[in-house]
Structure 1
Amino acid sequence: MLIVQCTQIESKDIRGAAYAGSETCVSCHGDLQHSDVHNAHLRSSGLLNPGSADSLEIPSGEFIFNEKTKVKVENRADGLYQIALINGENKKEEKSAVYFGSGAHAYTFAFWYGNQLMQMPLNYLPAEKLWVNSPGFPEEQIYFGRPIITKCLECHSSYIKKDPIKAGTFKAQEEQYIQGSLIAGIDCERCHGPAAEHVNFHKENPEEKKAYAMVKYETLSHSRKIDMCGVCHSGMGHQTLKSNFAFKPGDTLQALPQYRTYQGEDPDVHGKQKPLLEASKCYQIGKADCLSCHDIHGKKTMNLSLYSQKCISCHQDTKHETLPEKDRAVLAANCIDCHMPVKTSQDIGFQLSNSKEKLPYRLRTHRIAIYQDVIAGKQ
C-alpha cells in the first residue's frame, strides 16, 4: 500500500467532526481509490448531474404499459427525465436526481418531491439494454409514488440528513431529508469508521507508518467481521437499534433487536449474502468470512477461475470421486458454478415493456454447498 505524507485538508463532513471525509483519505491512499472492485461500492449510488447519464451509458428510451399509457425517458442536456404519456399527452415529468446501483445488474432512479426522495417508475438494465418497470410497481399504470426510505439509503449511500418535522405530521415512509446532504456511494468511513483522529495523528506524525486510531478488519472476531459487511448484506429482515449509518467496525448485529441468524431456510439471493454464507460449512467450520474471497481493495478484476483458486487453497484434497471423468477438467477453473450456482430471486423481477412477462433477476447464491440438482444437470 502506498502511504505518503497527507496534505493538509480541512474536513467539513456533514456527519460531524469525527469524520475526515473521503477526499482526505484519498490524499494519502489514492492508490486504493482506483481499485475497480472498491469503486463498485463507491458507485452504489450517485448524483445525476448534467452529463452523468452519458458517462454511465444510460440512454433515452421508453416503456409501454398499453396502447394508451407509456413512460418516455429523455436524456436531455440538463439531465435524465422520465415522462408519463397518456394518449400521447405529457401528464407528468420528473428529473432524476440520484441513481442507485453500480451498473452490474440494474440502475434505479429517484427524484426530489419537496424534501422527499421518490423512486422513478422505470429501472434500466445495462446488460440487457432495457428499460423496465420498477420491481413491485403496478403492472398497468405509471407510478411516481414510492418514497425512498432511510433503510434503503443506509445500504446504498454513506449518509443523508433527515429534515426535522413535527411528530405525527407524516407517516414513517414519508421521511424527509435535507437536499444536498446526501453522501452518495459507500465511502471509506462507512467501512473503516470515523477517521479524523487517525488523519490528525498522521499529519502530526508523518514518519509513523502504523495506522493509528483505526480498527483493523483482521483483528476482529469471526462474527464481527461478517457483521461489518452484513449490516448492509443481510436483507431487509432486521431492525437496528440505531441507524445503520452509525454502525462501526467492531459493532455487532447480534445485540440489535429483531435480528436473527440463519434458521435453516434458504434465504432469497437478493441482498441476503450474510445469512446465506452463515448457512455454509465454509463459514461454520472453515471460519470463512467475506474477505476470504472478496478483495475489496484489489485492483485485479476477479473471475470464476480466480475465485476457484481461493476455494482450492482450502480444499486441495477434495477428490470429486462421484463426478464423471469428462467433467473433472473444469475443477481447477470453476468451483463456483457448482457450489455457488446462479439462482432466481423470488423477491424481484422486472416487467418488460408492452408485456406482463417479468425478466427474472438472477444472482449467485452465497450459500456454499453441494447442490444435487446442479450435479444432475437440472439447474
Structure 2
Amino acid sequence: MNKRLLYVCCFIVSCIIVLSQCVSKQRSTGLRGEQFAGAATCAGCHKNIYDSYLATAHYNTSHPASQSTVKGNFNDTFIYSNAMKVVMEARDSGLFQAGYVNDTLQELHRFDIAIGSGRKAQTFLYWEAGKYFQLPVSYFVSAHAWANSPGFPAAHPKFDRMIPSTCFGCHSSMVGVKSTEMTGLHITEQFEKNQLVYGIDCERCHGPGAEHVAFHTAHPQEQQAKYMTKTGSLKNQQKLDMCAVCHSGLKTPQRSVFDFRPGDKLSDYIYADITRPAKPSEMDVHGTQYQLFTASKCYIKSENMNCSSCHNPHSGDKQEVFSQRCMSCHTTASHNFCKLTTLPEAVLAKNCIDCHMPALPSGSITLLTNGHLSPTPDSIRTHLITVYGDETKKVIARLTKKL
C-alpha cells in the first residue's frame, strides 16, 4: 500500500470516528447533555467489562419492544370474565395487545417498551398522545405464561394506567420529558415518544463520562483515570446510597434521581418516608433491599460492608459465587462457619444464600395467570441475612437427596 492510499484510508477512518462521536453526542445532548458520552463509548477501553455488563439485569431492565426482547408467545390470549379478553398479536406493523369483547375489537395498543430483565417477569408500555401507559397483560417467567399486570383489576383489561417519569428513574438512564404541568398536587407530564436511554448504563453509576473520554482519547498513555468519580474512593454510605437510589423502594422525590451522581447523598434526592415499616418483618422483599440488608447482623457488625461486597455490577453472578463471598468472612478458622452438622462442610459452603437469604413471596408483586382465581406472588430473594428455619429444612432435604 503506497503512502497516499494509506493517508486516504486513515482520513476516512478518522471521519467515520468523528462522525460517530458527533451522532452519539447529538443523541446524548437531547436527553442528558453534552457531558455524557454514552455507554457504548466505554467499550472502546473497557471491552471485557462492557461485554459482561450486557448480560446483567441492569442493562436489560428496559428495551425497545420487539420479538427478540419480549418474552412470551404471540397469538396467545388472556381471558377475563364477561367475554372479555386480550390477545397478544404479532402484526406486520408490530406487536400489539388487542382488547376484545365478544370477539369485537375494543382497543389496540402497541408494545413500545419492554420493562424488566426477563429473569422473573416483564411488563410493557405503550406511548400515546405524549404519555406512557402500562399494558394490562405482563409476562410471568416462572409460570411461562401471560398474566394480569400487578395491581390491575382482575375482572377486565385496563389500558389507561399512566406511567410517570419516576418509574423510568429505576428502569432507564434517562427519559425524554417534553413538558411538566402541575395542577394542585397533580402532575401531568408529556413525553417525547421512545426517547429513552435504555437500561441502567455505565454513567448512571460512574457519572458523566464525556470529559473522561476526551482526555484519555487525547492521552492514551495515561493510566490514571481522570475526570471520573472513583467508586472505590467513596465512603461506605456513599456507595450504599448509589444502590439505594433504586433498591430502597418508592419514595417521595425532592429532585429527579436522574441527576444523582456518585458521591451524592440520597437524602438530597428523596424525602424521608415516615410511613416506612420499622421492622424488617413488615417490609416486602420487593424494592427494600437496602433496608433489609442494613438491618442484617452481617452489615451491622461490619465496618465497611456494602452491596458490592457481594454483587459485581458488571456481571451476572451465580449462586455459588455469592456463597464464596460469604466464605470470605464465615470460616471454620474464625469459628463462625455454619453450625449445621447434617451435611458435609463442602456442600454447606456452596449453599449459604438458600438458607440465609431465601427467595420469599412478594406481597406487592403478584400476577394472576389464566385459569387461576388468586394471583401468584413473585418470589424474590430477601436481603435480610438471618436464619430461616423452615427454608433451611427444605434446603437440607433437597441437598440430602443429591448426596
Same fold (TM over 0.5): yes
Query: Are the counterparts in 2 of residues 37 and 296 from structure 1 also a CA contact under 8 Å?
Result: no
Distance in 2 between residues matched to 1:274 and 1:227, nearest whole Å: 9
Q: Which runs of 5+ in 1 are unaligned?
A: 1-6
Query: Are the counterparts in 1 of residues 257 and 269 from structure 2 also a CA contact under 8 Å?
Result: no
Q: Which amino acid aligns with 1:250?
A: G
Distance in 2 between residues matched to 1:67 and 1:231, nearest whole Å: 42
Select which of 258, 261, 271 maps to 2:287: 271
Query: Are the counterparts in 2 of residues 96 and 110 from structure 1 also a CA contact under 8 Å?
Result: yes
Partner deviation per Cα, 1:145-202 (whole Å, 9 max, x = no partner): 1111111100000101212255439932x42211242111111111111111111111
Q: Which runs of 5+ in 2 are unaligned?
A: 1-16, 397-403
- Residues 333 and 203 (structure 1), Cα distance of their counterparts in 2 relative to 1, 3 Å cut: same
1:155 aligns with 2:173: no
Residue 232 (structure 1) aligns with: 246
- Residues 37 and 324 (structure 1), Cα distance of their counterparts in 2 relative to 1, 3 Å cut: farther
Residue 228 (structure 2) aligns with: 214
- The alignment yields a C-alpha RMSD, in angstroms, of 2.3
How does 1:164-243 map onto structure 2 within 5 Å? 164-168=179-183, 171-172=186-187, 174-236=188-250, 238-243=251-256
Distance in 1 between residues matched to 2:277 and 2:240, nearest whole Å: 13
1:341 aligns with 2:358: yes
Select which of 301, 311, 315 maps to 1:285: 301
* CA shift for structure 1 position 377: 5.3
Distance in 2 between residues matched to 1:243 and 1:297, nearest whole Å: 25
Q: Which amino acid aligns with 1:337?
A: D
- Residues 343 and 37 (structure 1), Cα distance of their counterparts in 2 relative to 1, 3 Å cut: farther
* CA shift for structure 1 position 111: 0.5
Residue 43 (structure 2) aligns with: 26
Residue 360 (structure 1) aligns with: 377
Distance in 2 between residues matched to 1:264 and 1:225, nearest whole Å: 24
Distance in 2 between residues matched to 1:167 and 1:226, nearest whole Å: 33
- Residues 110 and 169 (structure 1), Cα distance of their counterparts in 2 relative to 1, 3 Å cut: farther
Query: Are the counterparts in 2 of residues 32 and 38 from structure 1 also a CA contact under 8 Å?
Result: no
- Residues 313 and 169 (structure 1), Cα distance of their counterparts in 2 relative to 1, 3 Å cut: closer
- Residues 274 and 167 (structure 1), Cα distance of their counterparts in 2 relative to 1, 3 Å cut: closer
Distance in 2 between residues matched to 1:163 and 1:255, nearest whole Å: 25
1:124 aligns with 2:122: no
Relative contact order higher in (CA < 8 Å, ≥ 6 apart):
1
Distance in 2 between residues matched to 1:177 and 1:312, nearest whole Å: 48
Query: Are the counterparts in 1 of residues 71 and 139 from structure 2 also a CA contact under 8 Å?
Result: no
Q: Which one has a bigger Cα radius of gyration? A: 2
1:17 aligns with 2:34: yes
1:40 aligns with 2:40: no
Which is richer in strand? 2
Q: Identity over the aligned pairs, expressed in percent?
A: 36
* CA shift for structure 1 position 343: 0.7
Q: Which amino acid aligns with 2:289?
A: Q
1:250 aligns with 2:263: yes
* Structure 2 SS opposite 1:344: strand
Query: Are the counterparts in 2 of residues 162 and 176 from structure 1 also a CA contact under 8 Å?
Result: yes
Which is richer in helix? 2
Distance in 2 between residues matched to 1:326 and 1:294, nearest whole Å: 27
Partner deviation per Cα, 1:93-132 (whole Å, 9 max, x = no partner): 1111111001101110011121000000100123322000
